[in-house]
Amino acid sequence: MIKKAILATDLSEASELLLSCNDQLKNLGIEHITLFHALGVSYMNFAGITFLDKTKAKLEKLKETFKEKGFSVDIVIKEGIAHYELVEYGKENPDSILVLGSKGEGFLKRILLGSTARETVRLSENPVLLIRMLEEDEELSEHCKLYCRDFNRQILFPTDFSDSSEKAFQFLKTNVAKQATKIVLMHVQSAEVMKHREQAAIDEFDKIDMKRLERLRNALKEFTSAEIKLEIKHGIPSDEIIKTKREYDCTLIVMGAQGRGFISEEILGSTTQKVIERVKVDCLIVPSQE
């Protein structure tokens, strides 16, 4: 059971909103929080050195807030670029989950997923919890608010039955499932893969994969009293995952970082990337690295 979280903050108004998720972190079993801040390029260029004392003071204030909520807390400040320092610190603490805010689709009509979040997910050897930040006004406002609900209340777990998905399932089973009220286990038959198959062959694949989902359901039952739903979908995997999330009003998507048929040089699978860039809900990404 994972009990430690490394919470990344750039001390912006948006990142400080993560404080409001302390109850959800407790439900995940987190007992210790490391408040992590990277000083970044401005500090390395000496322009930010004068702000170091202010940075430390802000982090101390956040530390006291989390301590009041019952967590043990420490502070880590690094000098380098955020995603690099965060990933490296995670490697030194393999028993921790990384937690950071991410920006959803259409945020100020710029990038889909904030660069720090995206690079952290792509490179991390730790599980990464992305807490979605929603825009108050996509056109004009630079302010955002947290989607943060009881994110492990209704969970969607898409699987392609790869080794990466199996590792993500083990994490779901031992760290996330206990507090859930509903878990949806789903598999998508890719339209691209199936387009040359006869219907009889597709039906046979459905039967085989439903049995696989039933195996996962049976394995989950000893870890949770949640209602467990099974879904076989057909289409583009990322689209079907997002549709199923909406159908069941899921509050958290748990996914492996890569799947089958995946180019070896890439570390973040294309389906996983598309989902976390587009979906307006929290995501927990479990890496495939051993």
Q: Give the pLDDT confidence of 63-118 residue by residue, as tens digits.
A: 999 999 999 999 999 988 889 999 999 999 999 999 987 654 433 333 334 677 88
| pTM of the predicted model as reported, rounded to 2 decimal places | 0.86
**Residues 241 and 188: beta-carbon distance below 8 Å:** yes
pLDDT tens digit string along 230-285? 999 999 999 999 999 999 999 999 999 865 443 333 334 678 888 888 887 889 99
The answer to whether the CB of 182 falls within 8 A of the CB of 155 is yes
Q: Confidence class of residue 47 from pLDDT cuts 50, 70 and 90?
A: low
Model pLDDT for residues 121-160, shown as the tens digit of each residue: 889 999 999 887 765 444 434 444 555 556 668 999 999 9
Alpha-helical runs (H) found in the chain:
13-16, 22-27, 40-44, 52-68, 82-92, 115-123, 163-171, 191-194, 199-220, 237-248, 270-278
Residues 258-279 as b/e (b if ≥16 CB within 10 A, e otherwise) read bbeebeeeebbbebbbbbbbbb
**Do the beta carbons of residue 238 and residue 268 sit within 8 Å?**
no
Looking at the DSSP bridge assignments, the partners of residue 43 are none
Give the tens place of pLDDT for each residue, 3-35.
999 999 887 766 666 777 788 888 888 999 999
